[in-house]
């Protein structure tokens, strides 16, 4: 278990922007819950204090690779219009019983930005999901009405960390958000502009999940060099094939 105290949060004011995070696209790295540490000590056992593991599982662990590049996923990608789907990011999300933190409202397109927008998330719950253990919530139709207007990017010059542009947070309308109370083994497909979030796990049941994000890799779709997630030339994003 790594001793790097990098936490994961979508709450922009506190997001760690260290090299541990920025280099995780080509590695398997561990990110702590925000509240995991107190006075230099873990407050709960490490396996409960980890928020997520990422972001290169799909290319580095055979079991995750087989799921992520499954021909059925490739077929879905084609069916929803992706010409050259590239798997760019994977995460094992723990959201442990009584300890897993919230994920604040966001659009995945802000974190995996392409021009034009193309990111799609595939999200598998590995435990049954309820409002008690922190299921996903989503705002129906928001992918059609709320364009991605903000971007999480590496600062210029490189090495200065990350930032949101524009700086001002989006004021989300969550009045119509619905909980996705689904059973383990389901598959949720998340449009890059869908406004979604999850709350703390206040139950005694874990809410583990695995997710992969795919972007369009065809000519004419740009994956900007200031996206937080980058791969070195000798470890490029791979295409899903039917």
Binding interface with Fe ion (CB under 5 A): 108
Q: Which is nearer to Fe ion, 62 or 110 (CB)?
A: 110
Q: Which is nearer to Fe ion, 111 or 223 (CB)?
A: 111
Least separation, in Å, of the C-beta of 196 and Fe ion?
Answer: 6
Q: Which is nearer to Fe ion, 33 or 108 (CB)?
A: 108
Omega of the bond leading into 166 within 30 degrees of 0 (cis) = yes
How far, rounded to the nearest angstrom, does the alpha carbon of residue 158 sit from its chain's CA centroid? Answer: 22
Half-sphere exposure of 206 (CA within 13 A, CB side): 16
Closest residue to Fe ion using C-beta atoms? 108
Least separation, in Å, of the C-beta of 32 and Fe ion?
Answer: 19
CA dihedral for 138, 117, 104, 42, sign (positive or negative):
positive
Least separation, in Å, of the C-beta of 43 and Fe ion?
Answer: 26
Burial class (CB in 10 A: 0-12, 13-18, 19+), 182: middle
Least separation, in Å, of the C-beta of 190 and Fe ion?
Answer: 6
Least separation, in Å, of the C-beta of 176 and Fe ion?
Answer: 18
Q: Which is nearer to Fe ion, 59 or 108 (CB)?
A: 108
Q: Which is nearer to Fe ion, 5 or 151 (CB)?
A: 151
Rounded Cα distance, 101 and 85, in Å:
31
């Amino acid at each position: 278990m790594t001793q790097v105290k990098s936490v994961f949060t979508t709450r922009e004011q506190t997001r760690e922007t260290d090299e541990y995070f920025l280099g995780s696209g080509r590695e398997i790295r561990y990110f702590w819950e925000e509240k995991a540490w107190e006075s230099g000590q873990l407050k709960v056992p490490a396996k409960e204090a980890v928020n997520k593991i990422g972001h290169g599982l799909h290319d580095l662990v055979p079991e995750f690779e087989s799921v992520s590049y499954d021909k059925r996923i490739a077929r879905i990608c084609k069916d929803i219009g992706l010409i050259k789907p590239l798997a760019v990011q994977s995460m094992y999300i723990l959201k442990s019983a009584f300890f897993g933190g919230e994920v604040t409202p966001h659009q995945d397109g802000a974190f995996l930005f392409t021009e034009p927008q193309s990111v799609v998330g595939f999200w598998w719950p590995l435990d049954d999901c309820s409002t008690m253990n922190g299921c996903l919530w989503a705002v129906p139709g928001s992918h059609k009405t709320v364009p991605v207007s903000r971007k999480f990017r590496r600062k210029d010059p490189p090495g200065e960390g990350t930032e949101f542009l524009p700086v001002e947070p989006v004021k989300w309308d969550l009045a119509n958000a619905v909980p996705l109370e689904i059973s383990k083994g389901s598959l949720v497909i998340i449009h890059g502009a869908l406004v979604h979030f999850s709350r703390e796990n206040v139950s005694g049941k874990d809410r583990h999940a695995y997710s992969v994000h795919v972007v369009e890799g065809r000519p004419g779709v740009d994956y900007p060099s200031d996206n937080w997630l980058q791969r070195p030339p000798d470890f490029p994003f791979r295409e899903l094939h039917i």
